[in-house]
Amino acid sequence: MKIALLARNPDLYSHKRICEAARARGHEIEVINTLRVSINITSKRPALYYRKRRLGDFDAVIPRIGASVTYYGLAVLRQFEVMGVYPLNESVAIGRSRDKLRCLQLLARRGIGLPTTAFTNDPKQAEDVIDLVGGAPVVIKLLEGTQGIGVMLGETMKSAKSVIEAFQGANVNILVQEFIKEAGSTDIRALVIGDRVVATIKRQGPPGEFRSNLHRGGSGEKVKITPQERAIAVKAARTLGLNVCGVDMLRSKSGPLVMELNSSPGIAGLEKATGVDVAGLMIDFLERNAAPGHTKTKGKG
């Protein structure tokens, strides 16, 4: 196969491993800087150009689109889909996962367990919103945050109210969620590929930090998850339409709760903690679904 890897930094561990896995299986793969691609929208010959070269003949595209370039990255990915190139994750599915509010609404509609979450645009309702999720402490999240950035803990009603009012005064959209104390600054990252969980780690935040993200200094270790957690992770991925994603869950008194889904999960922590060839499994999925001769699924727009 000929594969395009949409990524701004070819030197990241995840991107290097994906390229190694593809080439080890005899495929051709090219790293394409998402922001250097130009789009030619035409009804007859839709095209993409990269450094003045027309991009063509790709069998599959692996989107590794950073949160800061979501809008343009999805536009480029949609153009690949229009051209009949098979996406590891479709643009529509990635868009669902990047919109935290929409993501939670879709998961809730499917009956998937979530932390109690509230959303409002009225700063005068800050106290009401805090009460809706069970009172302080509460977790306050920017809708556009990623890797733990823009996630804060409001430990008291006064401090939580101040943070909420400050963000809303600046026209910044936020979610307010109940704080799951029993999780103990840990969460579960389950990596889903296709219809199964292929690797799982427990992430632990550093001392004094309630966020467990590895990018925030957290640590990860291999963990065995329950059949219920495994089923919920797969159901969450299917709900958003993601072929590959990291599903982050908390272990609570009421069972597993899904926090969010990451459509471009880092694989360094997963591979090092579990020994699973995550990059290879991604390429295996493409071989089953996008190899020449297979029926390609175009994006849904």
For 102-164, the DSSP string reads HHHHHHHHTT-----EE--S-GGGHHHHHHHTTSSSEEEEETT--TTTTEEEE-SHHHHHHHH
250 pLDDT exceeds 80? yes
Q: How far is CA 113 from CA 233, 235, 254, 258, in A?
A: 11, 11, 9, 6
Report helix angle 70-82 to 91-98, nearest 10.
160
Higher per-residue pLDDT: 86 or 149:
86
| 175 touches 117 (CB < 8 A) | yes
- Section 49-53 average pLDDT: 94
In a domain, 52, yes or no: yes
Cα–Cα distance for residue pair 195/243, rounded to 1 Å: 8
3 state SS of 222: strand
Task: Please give the tally of structural domains in the chain.
Answer: 3
Same domain, 198 and 107: yes
Same domain, 23 and 146: no
15 pLDDT exceeds 60? yes
145 pLDDT exceeds 60? no
Residue 122: domain span: 117-179
Cα–Cα distance for residue pair 1/286, rounded to 1 Å: 9
Across the chain, what does the average pLDDT equal? 90
Same domain, 121 and 189: no
**pLDDT score at 299:** 39
255 pLDDT exceeds 60? yes
The CATH number assigned to the domain holding 211 equals: 3.30.470.20
- Section 238-265 average pLDDT: 96
Domain boundary among 158, 179, 200: 179
298 pLDDT exceeds 80? no
Higher per-residue pLDDT: 143 or 13:
13
Same domain, 10 and 26: yes
Q: Could you read off the pLDDT of 283-292 as tens digits, one per residue?
A: 999 999 996 6
**pLDDT score at 151:** 87
**pLDDT score at 142:** 86
- Section 58-84 average pLDDT: 96
Band of residue 176 on the pLDDT scale cut at 50, 70, 90: very high
- Section 158-168 average pLDDT: 91
Q: Could you read off the pLDDT of 217-227 as tens digits, one per residue?
A: 566 899 999 99
| Token pair 């998850």 in the structure block, residue | 225
The b-or-e profile of 162-179 (16+ CB within 10 A means b, else e) is ebbeebbeeeeebbbbbb
| 261 touches 3 (CB < 8 A) | no
- Section 47-61 average pLDDT: 95
Same domain, 247 and 158: no
**pLDDT score at 150:** 80
Cα–Cα distance for residue pair 142/37, rounded to 1 Å: 29
**pLDDT score at 220:** 82
Band of residue 296 on the pLDDT scale cut at 50, 70, 90: very low
213 pLDDT exceeds 80? no
148 pLDDT exceeds 90? no
Same domain, 102 and 81: no
